[in-house]
């Protein structure tokens, strides 16, 4: 089912997502993709249910990443915390985050691509950072408040997930200009490249496919290798 999410990223970049949701043909394309790739039958309800899960993950994780002492571990695909004291204080006030102490989220980069614009620039929308930094009884002012240097670095890290950073975190909250999107290789292109690898078994191909659609750098590394080394390298994937 997660393989289907990366097809949503492709359709998102093609402008197939309206304010009231995805265009009908997107669901049909996702259902067909999962059937053709995994021989599994899913429904539109399966897709919308999974999307709601990703939306909740985005809200919870971005709220954490906006805090001093939190970061994102791109190797382990999970939230990293400076120490247990920081974590204990945070979950005491944010019970919904407790399950994310060691939770692996393989789709974090793609989740950002789809949801970040909605939550940062959408009408009336608020990011997790805004929910924390803006006091409830304090009127919103034009000028953003000063924040500690460590929090600025954390905010910058969130923007880096969306591509090359061109503005500070505070500037991003004030602007309505869309953030730059990172390159996303279409799943069809990745699958075509794997099919060109000689004598690659179907099971090994599916295992590699699942890894490559998650990590753009892995696919770039594959294409940089000489053809005779691609299969041995792919077989090292767990």
- Do residues 103 and 197 share a domain? no
For the ranges 35-39, 79-83, 172-176, the maximum mean pLDDT occurs at 79-83
Q: What local confidence, expressed as pLDDT, does residue 24 receive? A: 82
Q: Which of 11-25, 33-47, 97-111, 206-220 has the lowest mean pLDDT?
A: 11-25
Total structural domains within the chain: 2
Instruction: For residue 182, tell me if it sits in a domain.
Output: no
Model confidence pTM above 0.75 = no
Angstrom distances, CA of residue 212 to CA of 104, 121, 140: 17, 30, 43
Provide, rounded to the nearest whole percent, the portion of the chain with pLDDT above 70. Answer: 68
Residue 181 falls inside a structural domain: no
Residues 147, 211, single domain; the answer is: no
At 9 the pLDDT is: 75
The verdict on 54 and 140 lying in the same domain is yes
Closest-CA residue to 47 (of 13, 23, 77):
23
DSSP string covering 161-196? TTSS--S-HHHHHH--SPPPPPP---HHHHHHHHHT
Structure tokens at 18: 């309206």
- pLDDT tops 50 at residue 159: no
User: What's the domain range around 114?
Assistant: 2-174
Task: Note the pLDDT tens digit of each residue in 104-155.
Answer: 988 788 787 777 655 443 333 333 333 333 334 434 344 444 444 444 444 4
Q: Which residues pair with 71 in a beta bridge?
A: 80
Task: Express each pLDDT in 92-116 by its tens digit.
Answer: 999 999 999 899 988 788 787 777 6
Does residue 180 sit within a domain?
no
Residue 69 lies in a domain: yes
User: Do 198 and 136 lie in a common domain?
Assistant: no
- Say if residue 21 is in the same domain as residue 130: yes
Q: Which of 5-19, 24-38, 180-194 has the lowest mean pLDDT?
A: 5-19
**121, 63: one domain:** yes
Mention every residue, 6+ apart, whose C-beta is less than 8 A from residue 49.
none
């Amino acid at each position: 089912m997660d393989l289907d999410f990366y097809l949503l990223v492709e359709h998102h970049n093609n402008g197939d997502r309206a304010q009231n949701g995805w265009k009908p043909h997107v669901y049909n394309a996702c259902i067909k993709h999962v059937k053709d790739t995994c021989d599994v039958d899913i429904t539109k309800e399966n897709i919308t249910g999974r999307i709601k899960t990703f939306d909740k993950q985005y809200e919870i994780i971005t709220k954490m990443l906006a805090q001093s002492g939190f970061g994102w571990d791109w190797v382990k695909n999970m939230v990293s915390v400076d120490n247990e004291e920081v974590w204990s204080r945070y979950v005491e006030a944010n019970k919904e985050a407790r399950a994310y102490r060691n939770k692996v989220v393989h789709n974090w980069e793609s989740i950002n691509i789809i949801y970040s614009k909605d939550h940062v620039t959408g009408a009336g929308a608020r990011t997790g950072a805004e929910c924390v930094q803006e006091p409830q009884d304090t009127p919103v002012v034009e000028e953003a408040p000063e924040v500690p240097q460590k929090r600025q670095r954390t905010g910058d890290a969130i923007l880096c997930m969306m591509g090359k950073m061109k503005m500070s975190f505070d500037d991003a909250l004030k602007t309505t200009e869309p953030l730059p999107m990172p390159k996303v290789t279409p799943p069809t292109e990745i699958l075509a490249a794997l099919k060109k690898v000689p004598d690659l078994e179907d099971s090994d191909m599916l295992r590699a496919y699942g890894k490559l659609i998650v990590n753009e750098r892995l696919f770039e590394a594959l294409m940089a290798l000489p053809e005779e080394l691609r299969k041995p390298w792919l077989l090292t994937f767990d």
